[in-house]
Chain A
């Protein structure tokens, strides 16, 4: 029976995640802290968790006029809905000239199109429930070359699941040609598990099947060492104090100059991380449940995680 087999392997399903983790450990009143990326960013800055620098934000249609002033001479910047989900509505630019903006995919976007996009975003096209939204204009991450050979365009980002302050599982999501540069696994990005203890990459998963090489670049995924892994674990663990959310997905990108930066937090992190690690997450969650101690500092919690969650290589 497949059900029993999944249960034995500790695979977490959506129903179980929603009722036993999210509703039990993530009080709804805390959601706005992570759903609104602007608030998350401010909170992180107060707590000294590094984030991409915020250039400015737009709150009303009228503010769209300020866009040029915010961007100024900067060639690289990212436009992002504050309440977006799944990477929808994010535009990345690497240059502009004569009122036309060049997106990182090489497409030229006119001011007309861009301001329409901004207005749509402000009207809530990308926010849950269509509520009025805000637009963030922020630093465009210049990726650390470590994943250059295993990603195609877009943003390779690292997802760490933090349960009650303990990092329990991690993966890196690598964009492919098929995912149009997006790091969403169900849109065709590759998920590669990361050993929590060492920061070394494991096997890759594409469309729910194991893959060992990137479909576009042909480079093997496994055995890469994520630089600054201890810092990443530290950042992830501290996001627990930042938000108070017991079951949290922390998204981190590696900047070539500034090191790991926290991009966003997720109060309902997906389940694909289990596939990328070819392991169910429940056993680790139960282990944390048994040892969790709110007195422990982030550093002590990381030590526990590193000792316990060493993937077999």
Chain B
């Protein structure tokens, strides 16, 4: 018929619910990084910096280690400072984060650890502030002349900041550098020296550049070296170059530790200081990662997550949140297909029990229980009991039967029999009672049809509720239940034929007769 006001209201409500649920889930999936599929793993690394120094005579000591602040492309899960007897503080100094260990009195070899747990994240842009144009460095001869020669040569062979930098770095890194370049590099063959030389030469061309310290994140656990990297600003954004090859970019599994080339550690009151890095990758469930990450970000939507509940309560909800999906299956089975069942939601509860018993064993156990219960119920009929005491008697029998089946199957070594305790016994009792009434009033045929229908719907509901992807999505994105609710509401206004009616009215659909 036509779209009445009530219908429009319903559609608007359903659409609102669906959009609400859908967008909340999308936000949590896309922005907060909650995984859409079960078992998604994301790489997680533990970076351990070990600072070592020695103090020969007893006395005070202080050690400063530059530690990362903002990590483009990575998120920090946790950071720890481990040391024996040292006090630790973290300070901001000129845009650097510095960890400061201090102790009043110590002696001998010292080891301080900084441990950082981080994970790869959707790409985040580099947010380091835009630099001013550097002044042309005032150099002594012969350096000034060498710089002019190099800069004009490289400028001739390049078009813009990007190509200039690349060409310059290739010139510096070439296997047989010319004399001008060699002058700048000096005797050192250190990678940092080359990067610093490049920075000076770039300044000669008035290009802002910084030497960064980066840490590769290997795929297996090992010790790694801090390497220099070159960041060049082209007036709009930072471009990153490998000073060793002149290639642009920074590999995904490289961590920018610090935006300057200054030494990472400074020790006062000690000597022979060194820092070494060890990186060990681990694969963690993306779910707990997203959760920790969202929690550390203080996202409200993450705070209102089922994952925040105590573990035991979580397990309850992991099952409960599936019930709306089972209910949706029931609606489809009854109102669209037209299968008759005992009790409206009995099949959902039985399907939940199937999760523990497994399908085949569940069907066998359920049928056995109902069959024996039904036989005893039909026997009770002869005793002419009143309705409520009779129901109570059947309930007692059902409980005893369940216990007996559990003990029996345990004796036989069939552990699935134990899970029979999960069947909803009150509902089983009502089913047995209803079935016995139908049995007597309408005959065994109707009773068995309804019983088989219930089991069939329970099996379908189980099959759907047991899909790993659905279990995962329902639990991680409970707001999607609003979408389920919207679908249920829409099905509530379905006025078309049920599939079973096609059969029922088939004489009417055959042409004109």
Please list the residues of chain A having a beta carbon within 8 angstroms of any beta carbon in chain B: 2-3, 5-7, 9, 11, 13-16, 19-20, 61, 88-89, 112-113, 116, 119-120, 123-125, 130, 187, 205, 208-210, 271, 274-275, 278-280
Task: Please encode chain B, from 493 to 513, with 1 for each CB lying within 8 Å of some chain A CB and 0 for all others.
Answer: 111111001111111110001
Name the distance in Å between A287's Cβ and chain B's nearest Cβ: 15
With both beta carbons as reference points, the residue of chain A lying nearest to B437 in the complex is identified as A125
Q: Which residues of A contact B498 (CB under 8 A)?
A: 13-15
Determine whether the beta carbon of B386 is less than 8 Å from that of A123. yes
Determine whether the beta carbon of B496 is less than 8 Å from that of A15. yes
Selected contact of B508 from candidates A20, A124, A280, CB within 8 Å: A280
Task: Knowing A123-B388, A210-B513 are in contact, say whether A13-B508 is a contact too (CB < 8 A).
Answer: no
Q: Which residues of A contact B388 (CB under 8 A)?
A: 123
Bound complex: CA of A125 vs CA of B498, how far in Å?
A: 30
Selected contact of B509 from candidates A2, A14, A19, A187, CB within 8 Å: A2
B272 within 8 A of partner (CB): no
With both beta carbons as reference points, the residue of chain B lying nearest to A125 in the complex is identified as B387
Bound complex: CA of A219 vs CA of B489, how far in Å?
A: 50
19 contacts between A and B (CB under 8 A): A2-B502, A2-B509, A3-B497, A6-B501, A6-B502, A6-B509, A13-B498, A61-B386, A88-B441, A119-B386, A119-B387, A123-B386, A209-B507, A271-B501, A271-B504, A274-B505, A275-B504, A275-B505, A275-B508
In the complex, which residues 279-315 of chain B have their Cβ closer than 8 Å to any Cβ of chain A? none
Q: Which residues of B contact A20 (CB under 8 A)?
A: 1, 495
Q: Which residues of A contact B508 (CB under 8 A)?
A: 6, 9, 11, 274-275, 278-280
Q: Which residues of A contact B338 (CB under 8 A)?
A: 14
Bound complex: CA of A13 vs CA of B505, how far in Å?
A: 9
> Of residues A13, A113, A279, which shows the largest number of chain B Cβ atoms within 10 Å of its Cβ?
A13
Task: Please encode chain B, from 433 to 448, with 1 for each CB lying within 8 Å of some chain A CB and 0 for all others.
Answer: 0000100011100000
Q: Which residues of A contact B443 (CB under 8 A)?
A: 187
Q: Which residues of A contact B236 (CB under 8 A)?
A: none
In the complex, which residues 455-513 of chain B have their Cβ closer than 8 Å to any Cβ of chain A? 492-498, 501-509, 513
Name the distance in Å between B504's Cβ and chain A's nearest Cβ: 6
Name the distance in Å between B326's Cβ and chain A's nearest Cβ: 21
Q: Which residues of B contact A124 (CB under 8 A)?
A: 387
B411 within 8 A of partner (CB): no
B84 within 8 A of partner (CB): no
Task: Knowing A5-B509, A9-B509, A208-B507 are in contact, say whether A113-B384 is a contact too (CB < 8 A).
Answer: yes
Q: Which residues of A contact B513 (CB under 8 A)?
A: 210, 278
Name the distance in Å between B463's Cβ and chain A's nearest Cβ: 25
Q: Which residues of B contact A279 (CB under 8 A)?
A: 508
Determine whether the beta carbon of A13 is less than 8 Å from that of B509. no
Q: Told that A15-B335, A208-B506, A278-B508 touch, could you supply 17 new A-B pairs with CB distance under 8 A? A: A2-B509, A6-B497, A9-B509, A11-B497, A13-B497, A13-B498, A14-B498, A15-B496, A16-B497, A20-B495, A123-B388, A124-B387, A208-B507, A209-B507, A271-B501, A275-B504, A275-B505
Determine whether the beta carbon of B502 is less than 8 Å from that of A3. yes
With both beta carbons as reference points, the residue of chain B lying nearest to A18 in the complex is identified as B495
Closest 4 CB pairs of A and B: A123-B387, A116-B384, A13-B497, A16-B495
Q: Which residues of B contact A123 (CB under 8 A)?
A: 386-388
Bound complex: CA of A89 vs CA of B513, how far in Å?
A: 38
Q: Which residues of A contact B497 (CB under 8 A)?
A: 3, 6-7, 11, 13, 15-16
